[in-house]
Amino acid sequence: MWALHSPHNLQSSSTSTPFYFPTRTSSRPPICSLTLNPSNPKNTGTNYNQLIQSLCKQGSLKQALQVLPHEPNPTQHTYELLILSCSLQNSLSDGLDVHRHLLDAGFDQDPFLATKLINMYSELDSIDDAREVFDKTRKRTIYVWNALFRALTLAGYGQEVLGLYRRMNQIGIPSDRFTYTYVLKACVASECLISLLHMGKEIHAHILRHGYESHVHVMTTLVDMYARFGCVSYASCVFDSMPVRNVVSWSAMIACYAKNGSPFEAFELFREMILETHDSVPNSVTMVSVLQACSALASLEQGKLIHGYILRRGLDSILPVISALVTMYARCGKLELGQLVFDRMAKRDVVSWNSLISSYGIHGFGKKSIQIFQEMIQQGLSPSHISFVSVLGACSHAGLVEEGKMLFESMVKEHRIYPSVEHYACMVDLLGRANQLDEAAKIIEDMRIEPGPKVWGSLLGSCRIHCNVELAERASRRLFELEPMNAGNYVLLTDIYAEANMWGEVKRVKKLLEARGLQKLPGRSWIEVKRKIYSFTSVEELNPQIEQLHALLLKLSNEMKEQGYVPQTKAVLYDLDAEEKERIVLGHSEKLAVAFGLINASKGETIRITKNLRLCEDCHSVTKFISKFANREILVRDVNRFHHFKDGICSCGDYW
């Protein structure tokens, strides 16, 4: 009996001698022998329970598992620590082992351990096992429900969570504050293509009805949910209604503005946070969002000020902050400064590298981007799926079709990363821009996952560049189903029809757009001069210099015509005569911003402009001309990438 249970026996099967086992060679009796005496009913192995527990706490899971068979009565606490240990060691096989043990020991209906098991399986990415634990547990405490909700949400099964939540309500099990945070997250953590915003609003109502309107965690999650749906005004309503806010709530709201095209509001809220609160001091997370706002605005001056603040606050050694700094400098047109920040990093992770890879990408340096990607791998880091999004995007901007195809193939073959919709969208973009539209369409056909709006959108965008009506109609049909409220898709299609002179169709799609209450996003350009940001649209009337700007452009246009410039008016979506179209194109917001820069920026200073749409062809060729004629470097960031105009040429090589 003793021999059978002796850890000493076990010892021989393992290669090295675990330090805690008594050795037979010693003259003293083994320390554990007393408690192992089966004739003593009171000594039911409590020492082994403690041994297992302390081994778990030290992280010696394997050794704990070796001892486990010798403990006739493992306690709930012992199992709890074992389960926790399996998660920490990231070992599914051990987890399954512990689970089997626990069932044999009669803990199969213990809701406490069921909760722990679900958490464990969730962390070990074994969602089916988590579900099974839930299904087999009859006494489901709110902890058990919440654990499954959390597990499913993290795994992207948002819809399933909402179905279960419905069931829970029907059975009459009350939600608690944790339930609300999980189900709110479930609304946005869904792989499905339809929006679950309506569910989010419903849950919002439940939350108010059950008196959680002043609960910081729940309300912050609510702000974040609306933020992720892009419902900025809803998010700010909730935020304003919060009686108690902390640094997380402030950060969530700032992030909401920064990520949804409201960078000014992000700054305003940041200012308010600093000036008007005493208990919510900005932390690294806050600063990351503020840096994103600088990036969105392409405001180098603001960015530098924020960098200063970060240094003063001692937040400059936090990885996410530095990566955001790299991106900020690159997206504000200072690629060299981004590189400098990167070079000075003491430690780098995949994200830092990704920042640099995409920075070179948006500036059009495709080869350099690939080179950095490879350097990262040589340094022993594994590329993430974002690394591939970044490097494939870089290939796309630079027209590196073959390189892009090879990288795409290497994803699964060399790195075991399975392409997501985003990667497919990159490939469709890469091939489509390079006028290999049929091959792009074939990629979509061969996809093993459902092509989402991103993929069809890439195809439609390429059709716009190469004016392919037939494919565009196919892509837009799908897009109108998938995201009926995205005005951009309708506009792209009308662009294509207009270029093909199909004015009847242009009219039809425009009507469709109006019928759905949508509006074309007006083109807007920004320029920063002497720490101030000036915004332009083509219908600009507020700028006091507007007459002067129009006059300058007209003068430039006439000079250009003498040198062979022909206005390219195909961006005009109205069936007007040539002269009228020319006038419209000459009033594009980007040209106004350039003219403003020529008049107001210091001599020799690079003119930096940001645009909310893709650069139109006419603006592109006019800017090229101006860069030579006025002997000015002009940097334009359009919605996708940078154009660096100098001496009459553009860094994109007219490929964008």
Q: Which stretch binds DNA (CB under 7 A): 284-292, 298-306, 531-539, 551-559?
A: 284-292
**CB 349, min distance to DNA, A:** 5
- Structure tokens belonging to residue 17: 């001698």
**CB 387, min distance to DNA, A:** 6
Which residue among 218, 310, 472, 609 contacts DNA (CB under 7 A)? 218
Q: Is 284 an interacting residue with respect to DNA (CB under 7 A)?
A: yes
3-state secondary structure 136-173: HCCCCCHHHHHHHHHHHHHCCEHHHHHHHHHHHHHHCC
Q: Which is nearer to DNA, 320 or 488 (CB)?
A: 320
Q: Is 216 exposed, middle or buried (0-12, 13-18, 19+ CB in 10 A)?
A: middle
Q: Which is nearer to DNA, 354 or 462 (CB)?
A: 354
Q: Of residues 138-157, which lie at the interface with DNA (CB under 7 A)?
A: 141-143, 146, 150
Q: Is 260 an interacting residue with respect to DNA (CB under 7 A)?
A: no
Centre a 10 Å sphere on the Cβ of residue 531 and count the other Cβ atoms it contains: 11
Q: Which is nearer to DNA, 200 or 567 (CB)?
A: 200
Q: Which stretch binds DNA (CB under 7 A): 209-217, 230-238, 456-464, 520-528?
A: 209-217
b/e map 41-63, b = 16+ CB within 10 Å: eeeebebbbebbbebbeeebbeb
Which residue among 161, 255, 459, 509 contacts DNA (CB under 7 A)? 255
CA atoms within 13 A on the CB side of 606: 15
Q: Is 117 an interacting residue with respect to DNA (CB under 7 A)?
A: no
Q: Which is nearer to DNA, 332 or 609 (CB)?
A: 332
- d(C-alpha 284, C-alpha 261), whole Å: 21
Radius of gyration of the chain, Cα coordinates, nearest whole angstrom: 31
**3-state DSSP assignment of residue 562:** helix
Centre a 10 Å sphere on the Cβ of residue 25 and count the other Cβ atoms it contains: 5
Q: Where are the alpha helices (DSSP H) in 467-530?
A: 469-482, 487-499, 503-515
**CB 644, min distance to DNA, A:** 19
94-113 mask for DNA (x: CB under 7 A)? ----------------xxx-
- d(C-alpha 376, C-alpha 380), whole Å: 7
DSSP 28-84: SPPTTHHHH-TT-TT-SSHHHHHHHHHHHHHT-HHHHHHHGGG-SS--HHHHHHHHH
Which residue among 96, 274, 377, 386 contacts DNA (CB under 7 A)? 386
Q: Of residues 350-379, which lie at the interface with DNA (CB under 7 A)?
A: 350-352, 354-355, 357-358
Angle, alpha carbons 408-414-419 (nearest 5°): 40
- Are the CB atoms for 83 and 54 separated by under 8 Å? no
Q: Is 319 an interacting residue with respect to DNA (CB under 7 A)?
A: yes
Q: How far apart are the first and last CA of the chain?
A: 79
- Structure tokens belonging to residue 256: 């909401």
Q: Is 295 an interacting residue with respect to DNA (CB under 7 A)?
A: yes
Q: Which stretch binds DNA (CB under 7 A): 92-100, 345-353, 397-405, 437-445?
A: 345-353
- Are the CB atoms for 93 and 122 separated by under 8 Å? no
Q: Which is nearer to DNA, 68 or 294 (CB)?
A: 294
Q: Is 503 an interacting residue with respect to DNA (CB under 7 A)?
A: no
Q: Which is nearer to DNA, 143 or 309 (CB)?
A: 143
Q: Which is nearer to DNA, 224 or 528 (CB)?
A: 224
Q: Which is nearer to DNA, 120 or 513 (CB)?
A: 120
Among residues 74, 73, 61, 67, the alpha carbon closest in space to that of 21 is found at 67
Q: Which is nearer to DNA, 426 or 498 (CB)?
A: 426
Q: Which stretch binds DNA (CB under 7 A): 3-11, 174-182, 497-505, 572-580?
A: 174-182
Which residue among 387, 462, 476, 525 contacts DNA (CB under 7 A)? 387
Q: Say how many residues make up the chain.
A: 656
62-91 mask for DNA (x: CB under 7 A)? --------------x---x-----------
- d(C-alpha 207, C-alpha 2), whole Å: 59
Q: Which residues contact DNA by CB under 7 A?
A: 76, 80, 110-112, 115-116, 119, 141-143, 146, 150, 176-181, 185, 215-218, 220-221, 224, 246-249, 251-252, 255, 259, 283-286, 288-289, 292, 295, 319-320, 323-324, 327, 349-352, 354-355, 357-358, 384, 386-387, 390
